[in-house]
Structure 1
Amino acid sequence: MPPLDSLPQGGVGPEGAPTLAEQVALVPTEPGCYLWKDAHDEVIYVGKAKNLRSRMFQYVNLTDDRMKIPLMMQVVRSFDYIVVESEHEALVLERNLIAQYHPYFNVDFKDDKSYPYIALTMSDVFPAIKYTRERHRKGTRYFGPYTDAQAARETIDTLRKAVPVCSASCAEWKRARRYLESHPDEAAVANMVLAKRGRPCFDYHVGRGPGVCCGEIDTVSYAANVRQVEQFLSGRRSAIVGELEGHMRDAAAALEFERAGRIKRRLDVIEGLDDSQQVMFSSEVSLDLVGIYREETISCACVFVVREGRTVRSSEFILNKGADVDEQELTEGFIKRYYDETADVPAEVDVAVELADAGLLGEWLGEKRGHLCRIHRPRRGEKSHLLELASRNARHALMRYMVRTGYADERTNQALLQLESALALDRLPLRIECFDISTLHGSFTVASMVVFTNGRPDKAQYRRFKIRAELDEANDFMSMEEVLGRRYSPKNMADGRFASAAPDLLVVDGGKPQLSAALHQLSELGLDIPVCGLAKSDEEVFVPWDETPVVLPSGSPSLYLIKQVRDESHRFAIAFHRELRTKAQTVSILDEVGGVGPKRRKAIMSHFGSLKRLRMASVEDIAAVRGVNGRMAQEIFDVLRAWEGERAQTAQE
């Protein structure tokens, strides 16, 4: 995508040309797809709509509240649209257009590489199995995609031990295939012909090949093996087991014990595979669960493929969008991308968010599957638990990707460079200190100081402060002045534990008033430290040298870093504030019990460690504390129960 500063702003075309709004007014109100284009006539976004004109006006008038829309519409200079018969056709066309143009603002796989599949060459007289990354070919059935190439290859090896089929890489199978393609009239008696012309391959000698190459199997028997392979790869293993058990009994009844033994070994392979997989559901459900974890501009989707109650595989996909698009759009985009490339569509796809187009997506998937398919959001039970597990796996996969590719380091370097430029700093902000105030109407007022070194949290340098000023109500400005005065006092600036060097950038949580308080205190101390304030509402960065706040680009590394610094300081302050409140509540509760003074109160809290554990304790547990008799333990227990009852009643009101 071209840089924003190289393009004119707004939705107005060249002088005398109609504006985008005027052009959109001429768009029909029928269903279809729209393609937004930039100044270089490149497609940067593809969308679908039930009513093209109405949907496109939401972009032009900025009534679409997604974060990326204002940025995208600064780049848009023209558009195309395609009218179709129905919204369902628009969905299919949208996916095809995204695959054709790979627009910058659409959700897509991060690396756009081809993922491995397991394929069956169904158009051949004797279909073979293969590991491939090829695009889908007519006459071949694909299973996947897999994100673990080794797992795909191991699946093929295991499968061929259970059900003998030819490998597409076998030289003798290729020779037989070429002959049958050039003599199609001999397909009906292929095994007889190959018995005369062919020669046994290595796999046949070791018992892993069915003997196509030397005419040891006819087309009917081989087709039965292929059907079992399809069932296996589709997750319907119980059908294979039942069929093989029937063949084994028939062979034993006919006293063909060698054949029965071969079938038994195949059953052992399948049962061994099932034993290594965790049973996730009490019922034999078949579904896909899609868990997603997002960072600022990148995310990962993890798909758990569950067939007959067992997770047969899981795959992780890195996506090119993250928190810069909403989770609903990200999930819908991934579902379109993933199921466009796989033929394995279950009866149900579970996701973590409600999707506006769930019905339409279910209709599209049902058409691919040949049966009904629904998009569902589980809220409790086994499915909800497994969906959370998929999201955790997505998080770990994304972390591994970021470490492996150096993505985090690259983003951090970009963020520091962008902050240096946007905030007019003299040097890179290698040490950033951020302060936040937390209070409850002036009570338990505390401040936090978090430190980021080289763009990463430096928790050994974190500090927290109790505000000493007596406040009748919340006063963030006075509190901020106090904490900065204490942090940057000559004494602490000379203390190595505080890192005596001044930070390269000081961030205060808040807008212009908090920034003014910080500047006033630094001036009193005679310090010249670059400082800015970050407002929560619009993520605007206030600076001393301009009345207009600096707006960092949405999704940029710099905005992500400074928000991360601010959020970490907020979290640290809230945690300290809650800790003080909890301690105060504990003291006030125990003070209501006669005979419990400071020593007994300290003994009780030392014994249990926290108010939570004390509240869960029985009378006997409390009586086990040294210095607490049975009567006192019962009174403490009763006071705690009464206090909990008051809290519950307050919560209901």
Structure 2
Amino acid sequence: MALVPTEPGCYLWKDARGTVVYVGKAKNLRARMRQYVTLQDEREKIPLMMEVVRSFDYVVVGSEHEALVLERNLIAQYHPYFNVDYKDDKSYPFIAITESDVFPAIKYTREKHRRGTRYFGPYTDARAARETIDTLRKVVPICMATCAEWKRARRLLEKSPEAASVANLMLAERCRPCFDYHVGRGPGVCAGMIDTVEYARHVSQVERFLRGNRSEIVGELTEQMRAAAADLDFERAGRIKARLDSLDALDDRQQVVFSSSVSLDLFGFYREETISCACVFVVREGRTVRSSEFILDKGLDVGEEELVGGFVKRYYDETSDIPSEVDVPCELADAEVVAGWLAEKGGRAVRLHRPQRGEKRRLLEMAASNARHALMRYMVRTGYADERTNKALLQLESALALDAPPMRIECFDISTLHGHFTVASMVVFTNGRPDKSQYRRFKIQTPLTEANDFVSMSEVLGRRYAPERMADERFGSRPDLLVVDGGKPQLTAAMEQLAELGLDIPVCGLAKSDEEIFVPWDDTPVVLPSGSPSLYLIKQVRDESHRFAITFHRELRDKAMTASVLDDVPGVGPKRKRALMRRFGSLRRLRAASEQDIAATPGIPAEVARAVHQALNELEKIPVAENQEKAEKNDD
């Protein structure tokens, strides 16, 4: 490592077979690579990645900007496992202009990018891309790359490149007009009806159209229509008017999101454990031109900055449509370098921005919502959830030394408030999915003066796994794995209770702090790999049991507060209780009332009003105690 230079460049980590597993860029190669070796990089995937790394390579460049460009090329070349990439291997559609041709043509394509061709997109909706081309050719006639007559004209020009200056004359002699020319979609290149200068103006309009600069095209077409009308060429003026109508119809279909004429891209993300989705809103001249969704192969297993930054670079590496502003949900450490790269690529200054409030923030949240729905649709369509669940069960079988995959998992959690309203939850996951018909909840019957998870856990397990309950079909079959929410104390309580009942059920405890799994056969906790399906499943089980327990606890507590607080006050019977609730309408308003206000209620003596007020003051202290307990748990 001491021989690695301190200059800017890109580094490539490789496994034992020499396969590149990760590509990164650095302002100082030696310092950055040393962070990986010494595990000073705090990203969760780094320890796992460095376990498989056996060698490395690096490339020195002149600046950090050049390193960014090289990084994108290397990632595209090697597709490293630990870099953010598209989840599905399909290529996305683009709209392309073959700029290297004498008469450039437009095409719908999924091809790998070629030199001499400019690409706009990507589009995730193939129909939207084709409709855009169709509408565009109504507005600005241009040749299609699939046209047989255009291909014939291109072959003739390739054989006689010296004739490019008089190409229209040569084509007029040797070619014939295509069908698109007759219906107004083509400018007549194949029949020599247009020269290279006029056609270049059409191409320029098309590119501006695809970049979202509609107002310029509208202005030009309006001026041409007026000029044609002034020359009494009403037929040509009518054709131009039809093109303007096509633009108006397109504007009607696009949502106006900004009153000003702004051009920006907004990136929203939604992440699961090992998969995520990015949604891009493309806004041009204040209108949402399109939205596209992309499934990515990384999720919560990488940091948000790495996920967002990696996708933004990949996205703009494949498109020529660069806006003046890019809005992202988090700050990027290399924002200035990325903005400089985009400015050079787009030919104008680009601002990389994280909106905090206002309309842009609202659109960013809407993009994230669209990303969530798109990811859910993808997971259902591909059966991704089933595949991940199967992997999770097999991984748990191996990590916890089980005899078979845990097809039925039961998890227990305790919820209490200093020994009051103590309850337990039992949630069941069958085949890796919540089985809510099997959920059960228990009121802890052991008298408690303070929170005691050890005693509470022993009681609930004794009741659940008692012989009569084990024989009760309503409680389901014997579990393949018992999970208790907590560390060693909760695990010990579970083991002792199962031993008293004479049951041999695999059991483990899941600690909240470091997601460590405590097992009976080893003093060292099991740590599942970060981002693994098994860790995701076991956390989902634990979180569901906690949710179910706290819901029941709050239900009992709130019911006790609202139903019995007045019943326990001396001097308050059903008649006076009705009088109080009739006057104040709710317990919340009664709690906010003063002693004098309560005493003003007909039929409520002063001493009873004082007792009610004192009881309600005691009630106010309970939420405070609950918050203190939560803070103590967080400190632990």
- Work out whether the TM-score is over 0.5: yes
**Which position in structure 2 is the counterpart of 1:548?**
524
2:292 and 2:420 map into 1 onto residues whose CA distance is 50
**Which position in structure 1 is the counterpart of 2:244?**
267
Conservation of the 8 A alpha-carbon contact between 2:280 and 2:367: yes
**Which position in structure 2 is the counterpart of 1:402?**
379
Report how many aligned residue pairs link the two structures. Answer: 608
The equivalent position to 1:107 in structure 2, one of 70, 84, 89, is 84
Alignment of 1:51-450 (within 5 A): 51-450=28-427
Which amino acid in 2 is paired with 1:166?
A: C
Q: 1:171 to 1:386 in 2, by over 3 A?
A: same
Q: 1:600 to 1:62 in 2, by over 3 A?
A: farther
Q: 1:420 to 1:226 in 2, by over 3 A?
A: same
**Which position in structure 2 is the counterpart of 1:493?**
470
SS in 1 for 2:73: helix
Q: Which moved more, 1:115-124 or 1:589-598?
A: 589-598
Query: What displacement does 1:606 show?
Result: 12
1:70 and 1:83 map into 2 onto residues whose CA distance is 25
Q: Structure 1 vs Structure 2: percent identity of aligned residues?
A: 76
**Which position in structure 2 is the counterpart of 1:9?**
none
Q: Deviations over 1:214-255 (max 9, x none)?
A: 222233332222222111111111221222222222222333
Q: Which moved more, 1:337-346 or 1:541-550?
A: 541-550
SS in 2 for 1:414: helix
Q: 1:468 to 1:37 in 2, by over 3 A?
A: same
**Which position in structure 1 is the counterpart of 2:444?**
467
Q: 1:342 to 1:484 in 2, by over 3 A?
A: same
Which amino acid in 2 is paired with 1:528?
A: D
2:519 and 2:583 map into 1 onto residues whose CA distance is 50
SS in 2 for 1:304: strand
Q: 1:432 to 1:221 in 2, by over 3 A?
A: same
Q: Deviations over 1:491-517 (max 9, x none)?
A: 433433322x12111111111111111
Q: 1:354 to 1:488 in 2, by over 3 A?
A: same
Q: Deviations over 1:375-433 (max 9, x none)?
A: 21112111111111111111122222222222211111111122122222233211111
**Which position in structure 1 is the counterpart of 2:502?**
526
Tell me whether 1:505 sits opposite 2:481 in the alignment. Answer: yes
Q: 1:209 to 1:515 in 2, by over 3 A?
A: same
Alignment of 1:15-34 (within 5 A): 24-34=1-11
1:494 and 1:564 map into 2 onto residues whose CA distance is 28
1:441 and 1:152 map into 2 onto residues whose CA distance is 62
Alignment of 1:588-627 (within 5 A): none
Which amino acid in 2 is paired with 1:34?
A: Y
CA RMSD of aligned residues (A): 3.3
Q: 1:420 to 1:381 in 2, by over 3 A?
A: same
Q: 1:372 to 1:41 in 2, by over 3 A?
A: same
Conservation of the 8 A alpha-carbon contact between 1:582 and 1:611: no
SS in 1 for 2:171: helix
Query: What displacement does 1:323 show?
Result: 0.9
1:428 and 1:600 map into 2 onto residues whose CA distance is 60
SS in 2 for 1:273: helix
Q: 1:485 to 1:94 in 2, by over 3 A?
A: same
SS in 2 for 1:216: coil
Which amino acid in 1 is paired with 2:374?
A: A
The TM-score, its normalising length taken from structure 1, stands at 0.86
**Which position in structure 1 is the counterpart of 2:598?**
none
Which amino acid in 2 is paired with 1:129?
A: I
**Which position in structure 2 is the counterpart of 1:572?**
548
Conservation of the 8 A alpha-carbon contact between 2:119 and 2:318: no
Which amino acid in 1 is paired with 2:222?
A: E
Q: Deviations over 1:328-380 (max 9, x none)?
A: 11111111211111111111111111222222221221221222112211121
SS in 1 for 2:331: coil
SS in 2 for 1:165: coil
SS in 2 for 1:114: coil
Which amino acid in 1 is paired with 2:259?
A: S
SS in 2 for 1:507: strand
Structure 1: runs of 5+ lacking an equivalent = 1-23, 618-627
Q: 1:479 to 1:149 in 2, by over 3 A?
A: same
Conservation of the 8 A alpha-carbon contact between 1:587 and 1:601: no
The TM-score, its normalising length taken from structure 2, stands at 0.88
Q: 1:204 to 1:35 in 2, by over 3 A?
A: same
**Which position in structure 1 is the counterpart of 2:634?**
none
1:348 and 1:492 map into 2 onto residues whose CA distance is 63
1:277 and 1:600 map into 2 onto residues whose CA distance is 62
Query: What displacement does 1:26 show?
Result: 3.1
SS in 2 for 1:126: coil
1:74 and 1:301 map into 2 onto residues whose CA distance is 29
Q: Deviations over 1:124-171 (max 9, x none)?
A: 222111011222222221101112222211211121122211111001
Which amino acid in 2 is paired with 1:520?
A: E
Conservation of the 8 A alpha-carbon contact between 1:448 and 1:569: yes
Q: Which moved more, 1:364-373 or 1:107-116?
A: 107-116
Conservation of the 8 A alpha-carbon contact between 1:512 and 1:542: yes
